[in-house]
């Protein structure tokens, strides 16, 4: 069953392409309403992403968005992170990328955190 109308698809598409970092989550950045959303917020904080660079949408306030975002991304769970219009993943992928350094590289590449220091050459 389809949940996503063309209007909702366009609204989501516009949002993920308008803002450099978009987080669809349960709750807000200051008050996440589930452990997975809280974990992604904490990871972004540890990575040094300023809150003003994060555009978040509380899917608990909009049932159409809550169901529609899953169809839009073809990803079954929330939270969902987008960087520069591209779907990054949910909590498990964001955590894995954080642990292996890929998230920091991605965030730096898109100007969401300061650039990584150049390796020291001996």
In a domain, 10, yes or no: yes
Q: Is 34 annotated as a binding residue?
A: yes
**For residue 1, is pLDDT > 70?**
no
Helix (H) or strand (E) holding 7: helix 6-18
Rounded to the nearest 5°, which phi and psi values hold at 53?
-95, -5
Beta bridge partners of 108: none
Q: Is 122 domain-assigned?
A: no
Q: Is the model's pLDDT at 113 over the cut of 60?
A: yes
pLDDT in tens, 44-77: 999 999 999 999 999 999 988 899 999 999 999 9
**pLDDT for the residue 80:** 98
Which residue segment(s) compose the domain that 21 sits in? 6-110
Check whether 22 has a pLDDT greater than 90.
yes
Q: Tally the domains of the chain.
A: 1
CATH code of 66's domain: 3.40.30.10
Secondary structure (DSSP) of 40-108:
HHHHHHHHT--GGG-EEEEGGG-HHHHHHHHHHHT--SS-EEEETTEEEE-HHHHHHHHHHTHHHHHHH
**pTM over cut 0.85:** yes
Asked whether residue 115 is assigned to any structural domain, the reply reads no
- Does 87 score more than 90 pLDDT? yes
């Amino acid at each position: 069953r389809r949940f996503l109308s063309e209007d909702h698809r366009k609204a989501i598409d516009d949002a993920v392409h308008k803002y450099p970092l978009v987080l669809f989550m349960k709750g807000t950045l200051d008050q996440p309403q589930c452990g997975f959303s809280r974990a992604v917020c904490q990871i972004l904080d540890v990575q040094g992403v300023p809150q003003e660079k994060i555009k978040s949408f509380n899917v608990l306030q909009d049932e159409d968005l809550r169901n529609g975002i899953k169809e839009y991304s073809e990803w079954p769970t929330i939270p969902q992170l987008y960087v520069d219009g591209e779907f990054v993943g949910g909590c498990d992928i964001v955590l894995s990328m954080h642990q292996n350094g890929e998230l920091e590289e991605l965030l730096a590449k898109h100007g969401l955190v300061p650039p990584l220091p150049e390796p020291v050459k001996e």
